[in-house]
A and B are shown apart, each in its own frame.
Chain A
């Protein structure tokens, strides 16, 4: 209908659905192009640090540890380290990109365009997921040099890593919305994410902990992600039931998505 009207501009001639899809794709490509452009900051450091983890904890110390949670120690830490790199990269990609967009005011170019807020949010989250998966793939390839493994449940492994990447991308987005200066987007990773990850069963099984600390650990969402991801790869029962992990992460994704969308609709931090 619209295409037959001669005076319409290219933008006017689009249906809302196709325009929204193009806008989403544009944001995702822009985000991927951004983290690829600065690959020495985004892709190389996690690869180097994970190789160091594999060498030091896996090879040097791990050979003395023996078995952990029914696996060789090197194999035991692989899923947690992959998950750790996905979490930190998905989070920091969206946090730094959205904050930079605010800081440089280029967010205005999206706000003046006919893009629904849900599409803007989905675009940034997809960008974070893309970086998380990209780094996760690099770390998985690195892990292949140190340990042989096959994937027990492809669906669970991919599903868990996707849900985790989405959740932490949303977390990074919420952080960036409230950030007033660059320091504000490094506080949560430094003081919340890193401790939760290190204490989230990446390097040890919760069975090693005294009862009290094991109970405390069950309040750490990363325990659920790492445990279920490890089950997805090796098929070895983890610290928590898989269905509980999927439900908890899914619930958090819905909650964080809702919060993010409400913030965008209100224009918190971006509209006067």
Chain B
């Protein structure tokens, strides 16, 4: 039986102003997993990560990293974690290489080990050429990669990334996904929070959704996506139409003269929809999902009556 990489029990956080960010959550992430922790802004994701990394003091509950209680042996537990925070948190006047090497020193690595690992991870993240540049001269994507290199320099077994690809262009984002998949395949357990649900869907095997300080869903990505009962497709037509076609069993809606929307429920097939459009004399140029599948589920699971307080605590 493998030890859980992360085990959280009854975790509660009440901030000094009385706001309850976490209402006693339980969560387990298995060793080797690629795990998504999702939730709307202010749901409690960053608070949870902050407590795991000891940046935030918990009010109640227990956190174990590979079976080590962070309250009982904080040093052993911390050595196993690498964290990539949401906000840039390095001195912009320091050199890229120094930032990573200093972090190695914070984890007790000798100068030589620190230098070797700094070179290894700066090269893997495409920043070796920038090692002597001050961090302020890096682009946004480079700064994100710098924080990943820094988090990996002591070679943690659990890597926690809080929105690592925020503000990064699609090309760099995809290269970062490939890198993270490689790390995961090499054995590093990864926990990811992100607002790009496509990112979570394509990378993560298991998922927890947190909302208003509670876990509202905790399952495998496959099982979660299996809950989808309806998918909405957007159909682009070759020729304009005056109105949406009346087709028995399918509810087409007209978006504009050459574009239709179609809700397809579980059990219905796209073949039948195409056949119906064909018999109506309409030629389909292209077809796409209206939104990401996970996004649809996410919205339905976290739909709420809107709370102003979520704007206060990130």
List chain A positions with a Cβ less than 8 A from chain B: 9-12, 14, 16, 18-20, 22-23, 25-27, 29-30, 33, 37, 100-101, 104-106, 108-116, 267, 271-272
Contacts and interface: CB of A to CB of B under 8 A. Distances in A.
Given A26-B102, A108-B89, A9 B108 contact: no
B57 interface: yes
A105 B53 CA distance: 14
A11 B57 contact: no
Given A108-B55, A109-B89, A11 B83 contact: no
A10 B117 contact: yes
A26 B154 CA distance: 14
A105 B87 contact: yes
Contacts of B92: 104
B107 A19 contact: yes
Given A22-B108, A108-B85, A112-B53, 7 more contacts: A11-B154, A12-B76, A22-B110, A23-B108, A106-B91, A108-B55, A113-B106
Interface in B51-108: 53-57, 74-76, 78-81, 83, 85, 87-93, 98, 102-103, 105-108
Contact of B150 (A18, A109, A110): A109
Contacts of A23: 105-108
Contacts of B102: 26, 30, 109
B75 A114 contact: yes
Contacts of A115: 106
A271 B55 contact: yes
A110 B106 contact: yes
Contacts of B15: 272
29 contacts: A9-B154, A9-B155, A10-B107, A10-B113, A11-B109, A19-B108, A22-B105, A22-B110, A29-B105, A33-B98, A104-B90, A104-B92, A106-B89, A109-B103, A109-B150, A111-B53, A111-B54, A112-B53, A112-B78, A113-B107, A114-B74, A114-B76, A114-B108, A116-B75, A267-B57, A271-B54, A271-B56, A271-B57, A272-B47
A61 to B, nearest CB: 41
B50 interface: yes
Query: Which secondary structure dominates chain A's binding surface?
Result: helix
A25 B154 contact: no
A9 B56 CA distance: 26
A10 B106 contact: no
B103 A113 contact: yes
Nearest to B157: A9
B40 interface: no
A111 B90 contact: no
A189 to B, nearest CB: 22
Contacts of A37: 93
Contacts of B103: 109, 113
A12 B54 contact: no
Contacts of A27: 106
B156 interface: yes
Contacts of A267: 57
A185 to B, nearest CB: 17
Contact of B83 (A14, A26, A112): A112
Contacts of B150: 109
Contact of A12 (B53, B79, B83, B85): B79
Interface in B216-247: none
B78 A113 contact: yes
A218 B87 CA distance: 49
B148 to A, nearest CB: 13
Contact of A106 (B50, B55, B90): B90
A222 B299 CA distance: 64
Contacts of A12: 76, 79-80
A10 B154 contact: yes
Q: Which 5 A-B pairs have the closest CB atoms?
A: A19-B108, A26-B105, A114-B75, A113-B106, A11-B154
